[in-house]
Structure formats: structure tokens, C-alpha cells
Structure 1
Amino acid sequence: MSAASTPLVANYRGVICDLDGVVYRGSKEVPGAIAALNTVVAGVPVAFATNNASRPPAAVGHHLRRLGLEPAAWSVVTSAQAAAAYLAGRLSPGTPVLAVGGPGVAEGLTEAGLTPLGVTELSGTTAVEAVVQGAGQEVSWRELAEVGYLVQAGAIWVATNLDATIPTSRGQAPGNGALVGAVRTTTPAVPHVTGKPDAALFDFARSRLGTERDATIVVGDRLETDIAGARSAGLDSMFVLGGSSTLQDLAFAEKNSRPTYFAFGLCGLLQPGLRRLEQTDGIVDLTPTGALAVLEAVEPQRLLQAVITLAWDTLDRGRTLLEDQAVWTDLEHRLGVIRP
């Protein structure tokens, strides 16, 4: 099989895959995602990595199986597990740790051999050496205050992630980053963060896969977390269109947030990898105002490569690329990108 026809996934021994926006949106599958994954996991192990620390991995796994993901070499890893693994390497087994957030936080600590405590279980005689702070629908003022008190007293402070918002059925809601921000008003301390875009979650996922860096690829739809995080962890990445980040976001991405490959969905793992071209071959060009214009009708994969190549070349040379959302939205439609 020639390099030009080799599926991208054949170049790797493990995949770290984002979930929301890549595999599912809420309770529904992203079209074609599960079929592609069932083909991938038949030959290459996949670790689904999520910043969502509130749900235990088993709950996420149940969701994936309900969507149709077949039993195979796949697992779910969370930022709460990465936080617990970080502390397990620094504390004695059984050490009490304040667990703030959803049930996934306490479960991660237990799995790592530590003793999670809720705020109501604390007492004046309990020596709490660390706290893990994650998002949860029932997080209270009392819990946030206790995190501040413990951190001020010298406890190790670990935050599962710093996502400012989380998507809900009614819109954006405050995420763990907002709650961490509230605690930071009480102390000059800065938490150790284990979720994306920091490298800890990717390193933890890779330890589960048992793969080396050059044999692992990250798949995600957020440039600022999935792709930037992959780069910080020294891993190749594939950006998926149709999720949180748009074609315009990809085109204007700074160098430290650019993926190795890009695709229209998880099916991109089963096809030759799309990446920046050496030249655009006259498929697209810039108008005098800096707008991107399509000059030749080609297949969507080739057009996508030409668009991104021209955009990145333009920015890297310090030239103007027009940020007209209508133009970029029209290009997404022309490429057949499906948005919720």
C-alpha cells in the first residue's frame, strides 16, 4: 500500500480521542463517528480523554456503548483520574484528600489509592494534605471556601481543568475555571492543572495505551485545548471540523495551536492524512482585500488542504487575511461541514 493511500491511523499504535463534539454532541452521536470508531478500535487501541471530571469513566463508557461502540481495546480517562495520579505520586497511600466536584473526582482518588473526603467529613483533627477541585452541579460556597482555607494552610491544590464555561442544553454555564477563579480571590497560590491543554491528561492517557509519543495521535475539535494540548505533550494531532472550533478558527490558528492533520470527522483516521501542502497549485488565491477566493473546483479534501495552506502561508509571511465570518461560513458550506 502506497503512502498516498495508507490510512492515517496505520501510522500509529494508539489514539487519544476527545468526546464532546467529536464522538457525540450531548446524548446524540456525531454522524458517522461510531462506525468509524468501530473500525479503528478493531486494530488500534483508543483512549477517550475528557476534561469533564464530574462523571466517572464507567458512566461515559456506558454512554459510548449505548451509542453503539463495540467492546474492544478502548478506555475512558478523565482529568480527575489524571489529578489523582499526580497526587498519588506525591502522597502516601490512603492520604485524605478533599474532593470537590462531581462523583468522578472522588472515584478517581479512590482508584489511585487515596482517601477522598467531602466537606462534611472534615474535622479539626483530620490532616488534609491536598485538595482536588473539579466541576459539579452541586458545588457549594462552603466547598469553595474550604478549598481556599486548605490552600492558604499549605495544602497541595490540584484543579482538574480551567475551562471557563461548560455547554448545557440552555447555553453556556460557569465551568471549573470560573470556580477556581473564585478560590483564587482568597489566595496567591496557583493550582496544578491536569486537564487539557496541559500535558498531564495526555500523558496519563498514553500510559493507559502503553504507547510512545511518536506512536500516538490526538483527535479533537478544540484548537485551544485538544490541539494545543497535544503539542504541549509532544504528540501529533488531527483536528476535526464541525465541532467547537470552526474553519475560520483553524485558518487563523497560531503556530502553537495548529494540528498536524485536519479532517471532516473521525473518518479522517481511516483515510490518508490531510495536512498542509507545499503549494496550493492555483486552487485558491487571495483577492486584493485579503479575502480568500476559490479558483478551481476540486474534491473537498483537496480544497480544504489548499484553503488551510494558503491561510497559514499568508499569516506566516505577515500578510493580511480577511476575517470575514460570512466568507468562512460560506466556505464551510461549500466543503460540506455539518454543524449542530
Structure 2
Amino acid sequence: MTDEIATTSVRAEPLIARYRGLICDLDGVVYRGAMAVPHAVDTLNRVTADGVPVVFATNNASRPPGDVGDHLRELGVAPEGWSVVTSSQAAAAHLAERLAPGARVCAVGGPGVAHALTEAGLTSVRAADLDDAPVEAVVQGLGFDITWRELAAVGYLAESGVTWVATNVDRTLPTPYGRAPGNGALIALVKTVTSASPHVVGKPQPALFELSRSRLGTARPDTLVCGDLLGTDIEGANSAGLDSLFVLSGASRLRDLAFAEQAARPTYVATDLSGLLAPGLPLHTTAPEYLVELGPDAVPRMPKGGANGTLLQSVVSTAWAARDAGRAVSDDAGVWRRIEQQLGLALPEQAAK
């Protein structure tokens, strides 16, 4: 196949047609709280109907997968062709490989933590019941009713040498009212009183991606990750050796992507999940035809006309190529906000509606 024919083929086929399985983030990609992200449900139903399995992989350890699945079905996601994997399950899988069946593990967090441990054949123990018998490990995940006594118990156990596993270290959690402390904030609190550090299994570590890929049954080159956070979804995909699609339907903005370091750069970018059904141009492509002009004020200049998807890819590729070559690129937030408006991207306050 000639380069010209190959390039034409890449341009014409839907992005998801290049892969046999999809690992998809949830918050900011599929839904925002109780509401679905525009185009997400229809796109996912098209993907699964075409025979591409989906694993929804979430760092949120508080809920069991069944509860997450119920929410997705309520939003209209088709009943088959997908499954849910949580960071609690990744923590339980990590321990199940290292401990004997039935080993006692202290569970701190929401119901999802204890559920995952039991599902993996381990014995979940509440912090209040630690005096009954010793435990071999402690798993700390997000929970909305975590108490001081539970956090203190994690510190006592970790300091005594018990294996300490953290489902994830996301410092913040998005809520309808703004950012709230995430599991990482509680992990940091415990770390202030102990010399120990936890083993982390959630994004951006590769464990959650590997568990998701095993559920899909796909090889690395055949697996695509989709997410809205550069430091978790995209950096994690890179650490697991997987291609990724970054979508601008969540908290991260175009400016964040333009200034992403190598470890957090995705393979593709789209406004939302519907990008899976459109042709995708890899962002590392730096041929002149895929670049836009960088003005003397270090601001990308977009030509009139052309498909917004192609222009979006070109703006990002231009910024990366310039920065990698040591050239200045404007980091003015107002400039990048105007570029988003020119591209027709929903701004954060619009996306939240």
C-alpha cells in the first residue's frame, strides 16, 4: 500500500474501526453527574452495535460496578456489549494475586471497596472490627462517610508494615457545586502521620488499564482509551502502552492539551465521544499540510473554512511542534478561549448546562 493510499484510508475510516476494544472513562466523557454528555450515549450504542466491546474504567472506587451500570442504563446506554471496571477491583485483583484466598483485608471507603474485595475471594474487614483478628492489607478508596477513626486505622496499619493499597490518588472530585476533596486528598492526610506510602493501582498507573484490557481480551495495539483528563486517562494510557483519544467534554481545556508534556499527550483529540465515529488524524503528524500558521504573537492562526475536527487537530499539532522546537507559544488563557470559540467548542460553563 502506498503512503498516499494509506493516508487516504486513515482519513476516511471511522477512528474506532482501527481498534477491537475501547476503554472509556465516565465522568466528563459519558456523563456529568446525572446528565449524559451530548452525543455520548448514541456514539457508544453505535460502537457496541458494530461489535466493538467497551469497558468503562473509573478511578471512583466508591460504588460497585453494578451501581455504575444501573446509572449508564438509565442514561440510555444499550444493555449489552460493555462492562464496568473500578479502581477498587484493580486493588482487589492486585491483592488476590499476592495473598491466600480468604485473606483478611481492611476496607476503607465506599461500598465499592468491600464489594471488590469479596468478589476477588478476600475477606473484607471494617476498621471497627480490626480487634477481632489481624489483617494482611488495607485498601483505601473514596467514600463519602469516611470517619476520623477509619483514617487513623489506615495510618496505624500502614505504619505497622501492613500492605497499604490506594485505589487512586485523585486529589479532587468534581461535584455540581465545584471541586471537592478526592481520595488523593485523604491519602495525603494519612501520609502526614506515617512513614509509609501506598501502592497505587488507579489511573495514571497501568494496573486499571491492564485489568480493563484483560476484560476486553484485546492486544495493546488493538485497544483505544478515551478520557478527558490528561494527567490520569491519557498519561495512564501512555504508561500502559495504549493509544488514546482525548475529548474536550470534561474539565480539561484546549490550552491544557496544547501545553501537555510528552507523557500526557494523546494519540487523537475530538470535541466529544462522537469523534470515535469520525476519521481521526494522529496528533503526532507534523507534515506541513496538517499545521496551521503560528503568528508573530505566538498564537495559532486558523484559516477560514475547513472541517473543525481537522482544524482542532492542526492547532494542537502546531502548538506541540513549536514547543518541541523551542519556539514560544502563547499561554494566555483568553487567547485559547477565543480559539475554542472559533472552533465551535463548548466552553466549561456551556458544557455544564
Q: TM-score range by the shorter chain?
A: over 0.9
Relative to the length of structure 2, the TM-score reads: 0.93
Report the equivalent of 2:5: none
Could you tell me which of 256, 260, 282 is aligned with 1:275? 282
After superposition, the C-alpha distances for 1:178-202 in whole angstroms (9 at most, x for unaligned) are: 1111111122211000111110100
Aligned partners of 1:269, 1:302: CA distance in 2, in Å? Answer: 14
How far 1:279 sits from its partner (Å)? 3.0
Report the equivalent of 1:298: 306
Report the equivalent of 2:115: 107
Could you tell me which of 175, 179, 182 is aligned with 1:172? 179
Note if contact 1:286-1:293 (Cα within 8 Å) is conserved in structure 2.
yes
How far 1:273 sits from its partner (Å)? 1.2
Could you tell me which of 142, 148, 152 is aligned with 1:135? 142
SS in 2 for 1:281: helix
Note if contact 2:291-2:317 (Cα within 8 Å) is conserved in structure 1.
no
Report the equivalent of 2:83: 75
Could you tell me which of 239, 249, 260 is aligned with 1:242? 249
Aligned partners of 1:282, 1:70: CA distance in 2, in Å? Answer: 37
| 1:150 aligned onto 2:157 | yes
C-alpha change, 1:168 and 1:282, in structure 2 (3 Å) is: closer
Note if contact 2:10-2:281 (Cα within 8 Å) is conserved in structure 1.
no
Could you tell me which of 31, 55, 65 is aligned with 1:47? 55
Report the equivalent of 1:261: 268
Higher mean C-alpha displacement, 292-301 vs 266-275: 292-301
Note if contact 2:25-2:58 (Cα within 8 Å) is conserved in structure 1.
yes
How far 1:3 sits from its partner (Å)? 3.3
Could you tell me which of 126, 129, 139 is aligned with 1:121? 129
| 1:60 aligned onto 2:61 | no
Note if contact 1:283-1:294 (Cα within 8 Å) is conserved in structure 2.
no
Higher mean C-alpha displacement, 60-69 vs 266-275: 266-275
> Counterpart amino acid of 2:227?
G
After superposition, the C-alpha distances for 1:116-153 in whole angstroms (9 at most, x for unaligned) are: 11112221x51201000011111111001111111111
How far 1:21 sits from its partner (Å)? 0.5
How far 1:5 sits from its partner (Å)? 1.3
| 1:224 aligned onto 2:231 | yes
Note if contact 1:131-1:157 (Cα within 8 Å) is conserved in structure 2.
yes
> Counterpart amino acid of 1:128?
V
> Counterpart amino acid of 2:35?
K
Could you tell me which of 275, 280, 288 is aligned with 2:296? 288
Report the equivalent of 1:190: 197
How far 1:52 sits from its partner (Å)? 0.3
| 1:9 aligned onto 2:16 | yes
Aligned partners of 1:274, 1:247: CA distance in 2, in Å? Answer: 17
How far 1:280 sits from its partner (Å)? 4.4
The percentage of aligned residue pairs carrying the same residue is 57
Structure 2 gap ranges (5+): 1-7
Note if contact 1:96-1:129 (Cα within 8 Å) is conserved in structure 2.
yes
Report the equivalent of 2:3: none
Note if contact 1:159-1:191 (Cα within 8 Å) is conserved in structure 2.
yes
> Counterpart amino acid of 1:241?
L
Aligned partners of 1:48, 1:330: CA distance in 2, in Å? Answer: 33
Structure 1 gap ranges (5+): none
> Counterpart amino acid of 1:191?
P
Aligned partners of 2:294, 2:202: CA distance in 1, in Å? Answer: 38
Relative to the length of structure 1, the TM-score reads: 0.97
Number of residues of Structure 1 aligned to a counterpart in Structure 2 = 339
After superposition, the C-alpha distances for 1:240-278 in whole angstroms (9 at most, x for unaligned) are: 112111011111111111101111211111121132233
Note if contact 2:291-2:318 (Cα within 8 Å) is conserved in structure 1.
no
Aligned partners of 1:282, 1:58: CA distance in 2, in Å? Answer: 44
Higher mean C-alpha displacement, 8-17 vs 287-296: 287-296
Note if contact 2:167-2:201 (Cα within 8 Å) is conserved in structure 1.
yes
